[in-house]
Structure formats: structure tokens, C-alpha cells
Amino acid sequence: MKKHLFFIIALWIFIGNQIFGQGAYVPFNRDYYHLVERYEILQGKNNSEFHTANKPYRRDKLGAYLDSLNSSGIMTSASDQFNLRYLSNDNWEFVSQETEYSKKPFLKEIYKKPSDLFYYRDSIFDFHLNPVLNLSGGVEPGYDSRLMNSRGIEFRGSIDRKVAFYTYLTTTQVIFPSWVKDNIEHSGAIPGQGFWKRYNEEGYGYFSALGHVSFNITRHINAQIGHDRNFIGEGYRSMILSDFSNPYMFLKLDVKIWRFTFSNLWSQMTADVIYDSQGRPTDGRYPQKWFSHHRLGTNIGKNFNIGIFESVMMNEFNWNYLNPIIFYRWVEHQLGTPDKIMLGTDAKWNFTRGMQFYGQFALDEFVFNEFFGIDGKQSSRNKYGLQVGYKYIDVFKIKNLDIQLEYNQARPYTYQEKFPYQAFSNYRTPLTHPIGANFREFIGILRYQPIPRLFANFTGMYQFFGDDPSPEINFGKDVLKNRLNPGTGIGLYNNKIGQGIENRVLMANLNLSYMVKQNVFLDLSHSFRRRTAQDLNEPESTNFTQFGVRVNMVRNDFNF
């Protein structure tokens, strides 16, 4: 029965409900989404179409928001006007203003619109097809050449303007920078990807397939069934649910009434097993686990948004968690507390035009006396993740110069559980922060668009975390380990961030992207990374320089 759960629900929705028009979702891309969110911050108020904490966004909702920006009076610079045209061309079927046509389309059908290699549109069927490409080469001193070769296609559209769909297919061969390769060899998984094979001696090859079908059940209830990732929050990282792990099968229901948005996510993920050198489970099977999440968000006034959420990870599917409005913690207690529950809140405040505060708090377990008591402040039973951030748009009135500052931390053992099936992970990678837990992190991001087609991004990062000296010892960083087996010499108390082998990572990344044509970029980037640790005789430092051509694809950042 579990195997057919999503198909049963989908069939019930299609048969039993009248369906209303809508669009597919825009793939989550930090650079792209920043262009959208910066204008909300510039206006100093929440947009009325969608809550920005729930990512990805629907194209029809984004199109309606872009229409509102035409009369907002904030698109004063040449770069802002270019960005509005770029976003509108990318979602042209959902905006009311006139968008561009190519002056000389190839064979009269190829690239009639700057954003589409080919499209067909009538009253019944809407179809948009595009190539996907990322060809890049890099140099890291002391290592062989680095490369990435990704090719594929993506297409989206709708049927009867009521059922929208999106598909993304690529095949990739890649040789990663050294620190990314070390992470993969340690975990047995490529961040953001699934099954992989060896490519030459140092590289990896993998096939990616993402897709979803979305539709409105009523005017205020939307459903999406897909195989992809989701992201919660306003930050560069998410302490609730991020895009770092492998894509997964999910069903999502969004209810939007007045100022409230209630989101439900049910998904099937891959449990953590022992993998061989080729990234395959040693017993030939990929065991599954189940994840449920719901979030209630609301706008308070014009410039404040707050959400409360609850998530549960379970090793066996349970019908009780299909109830979209029940309190998961109560259900878990009735079942004998067999699952892992996380709850907490996220918020943003556009407190003045051009500035925003945001944050998240994710709680696993809380014991009042041990949290506030003198002797119990550092109890292992008080496990939580915290994020605090600040965004400043058009810094000191310099057009298109934006700053983002962010602090993240997670106490030891926060995302671990008693059994591998309950850990907050998917395909051996964390569902939230790339480090896992037992860390503090400071991030600074400077974005500048001096001329319309040139995008400059500088990201600086400092991380402090505690690691395990051996696979048998657990100081609380690795989400795959059992939280009941703590590090040597550590009991219930005196657990603090950084315990174990202390590590410090300093990283800086500069990326320059020039948009030659719609969604065709030339990228030049340089990364510096330095790690010091108690078990290193001297610091590990490396530089990585890369140049590439990218078409309809998210830029690869290796900021971890």
C-alpha cells in the first residue's frame, strides 16, 4: 500500500475535485530568487501573491508580482529595468505587459522568444523546451584539471491551462575540487544528487531527473506532486529544510486564505545504509523512510511574516501523519514516541525600505530545568538550530549593491536520532545544513550589478565545528550517527558547540557572471579555502579557479 500512496492521493484529487488554472514552479536558484526578493525588500512590504519563505515559487504567482512592480516606482536603475525584463521574459506567459520577441528566429520557430528554444501555445496545450548546459574547467594547484560537463533538456507547460508540469533531465561528468571530493568520499553521496558512478579515477558521473505536476484543487488550495527538493526560509542556509540533499518524491498541498498560508509536505526519502565504493548499498537495496512537514505562515501588518512548523521523520509509513492539521508531537506520543519530531519558527521583518531581518529556530528536544539550570546549561537533551540574518539592498544608496549577513548554529546531536531511519538526512546527506550539527557559522554575501548584464557575487564564510576522531566516536556533528552513543568522556551534561576535534574553516568565493543572452552565462570564479584543526600539523589551504559556459542551469557553489 505504501508504494502507491502518492498515486492514490493524486487519483482522488483528480477525480473528486474541480481544477482551476495555474502554472508550474520556478526551479530554486539563489541568484534568480534574490532578484525577486530584493524588490520586496526595496518596497519595505510583503508581496500579496506568495510567502517568500516557501520555495520554490509558482510561475503564475511570480508573474502577477512582476506585473505589480511596473507601477511600483522602484525600478529606477538600468540594471533593475533589465532585471524586470529578464524575469518577465522568463515567465512571459504569466505577465500582462508585452514581452520581447526575437528579431531573427532561426527557421522561424527556434528562439521566437528569447527564453525558449521552442514553444507551442494554443487554448489547450502550452509547451516550452530549452537546452541545459554547463561546460566548465578549473585549476587547483597540486591536482589534475577540474571539469564539469552537464548536458540535458528541460521543458514545462500546461494542459487546458489547469494542469502544469515541469521536467529537467541532465547527464553529468565532473571532477570536483578537493574539499568537495573529500566530503563525497566521507559520506558516500554527492550533495544534491543521487546514484553515481566513477568517472576516470577522480571523477563522478550521474544522471539527474527532476519533475513535478501541479494544479489547483480550488481557488485557494494548490497541489504539487513531484521528485525534487524544497527549501524553507529567507537565508542562504536553512535550519529547517534545505536543498542540500538528494531530490525525493513528495506531495505538497498549499492553502492560501487571506494573510495565511498553510503548507503540507509528505515525502518518501532514502534511508541511510552502508554504501560500497561505487555509491551503491551493499545489500543491493535502497531502504526508504518517510517525512512529513507542515508550516503555518501569516503576514502581520504589511512588513512582518512569521511561520510555525512541525516535521516528523519516521522509518515506517503511518496513516496518522497524513492528517494535515493534527499536532505531530501528540500523534508520536500516542504511537509510543518511535519517530523524530522537529518544531520551531521562522520570521522576516522588512523594518524599513531596503532592509530586512530574518531568522529561524528549529527545536528537537527541550528540558526546561536543564536549559536554564546552572548545572544543566549544556545538556545533550537541549538540541536546537538557530539562524539570524540581515539583508541591506542598495547599500548606502549605491544602486544594485546588496549585502547579506547571516549567522547559523546547531548544538551537538540536533539532527541525530536513535536509528538511521529517523535521522534528518536523505541519501546520506543532511536535510538542513551541510555541516550537520555541532557548529557555528558566519556568512557574508556581497552582490553587485554594475551594468545590466554583469553580476558579481562575493561570499565570505567562517565555520567553527567539532568533528569526530574516529567512526566509533560521536561528538554530535554527523547526522547519521546514533545520538545515544556520545563521545568518549561526555555524558548528559557539558556538551558544547565545537566539542571533539575542533575545526575552523575560512572560505572566500568571488564569482563574475555575464549574461550573453537570456539565461546564457559566462562564469569566472575563484575560491580560497583554509582549514585548521587540532589533528592537523599545519593548515590545509587551496585555491580553485574556474571558467565556464552555463545555459539554463544553476551556478555551482561549493561553499561548505
Cβ(114)–Cβ(107) under 8 Å? no
**What phi and psi values does residue 146 have, to the nearest 5 degrees?**
-100, 150
Between the CA of residue 44 and those of 41, 67, 68, what are the distances in Å?
Answer: 5, 17, 14
Higher-scoring residue by pLDDT: 457, 471: 457
pLDDT at residue 164 greater than cutoff 90? yes
Separation CA 46–CA 256 (nearest Å):
15
HSE value, Cβ hemisphere, 13 Å, CA-based, for 471: 4
Question: Does the pLDDT of residue 8 top 50, yes or no?
Answer: no
Q: Check residue 186 and give its pLDDT.
A: 85
Average pLDDT over residues 5-20: 47
pLDDT at 142 over 80: yes
pLDDT of residue 176: 94
Strands (E), 366-453: 383-392, 401-410, 425-426, 429-430, 439-448
Would you place residue 283 in the very low, low, confident or very high pLDDT band (cuts 50, 70, 90)?
A: low
Query: Residue 13 — pLDDT band, cuts 50, 70, 90?
Result: very low
Encode pLDDT of 378-410 as tens digits.
888 889 999 999 999 999 999 999 999 999 999
Please give the average per-residue pLDDT across 28-41, as a whole number.
95
Which of 43-52, 361-370, 457-466, 515-524 shows the lowest mean pLDDT across its residues?
A: 361-370
pLDDT for the residue 369: 75
The mean per-residue pLDDT over the stretch 401-429 comes to 91
% of the chain surpassing 90 pLDDT: 64
- For 24-34, what is each residue's pLDDT tens digit? 999 999 999 99
Nearest to 78 by CA among 450, 353, 395: 450
pLDDT value at residue 73:
81
CB 250, CB 266: distance < 8 Å: yes
pLDDT at 339 over 80: no
What band does 18 get if pLDDT is binned at 50, 70 and 90? very low
pLDDT at residue 273 in the model: 61
- Distance CA(112)–CA(101), nearest Å, equals 6
Q: pLDDT at position 556, please? A: 85
Q: What does pTM read for this prediction?
A: 0.91
Distance (Å, whole) CA 552 – CA 148: 15
Nearest residue to 272 (alpha-carbon basis) of 262, 282, 263:
282
Cα(297)–Cα(317) distance, integer angstroms: 26
Model confidence at 275, in pLDDT bands (50, 70, 90)?
low
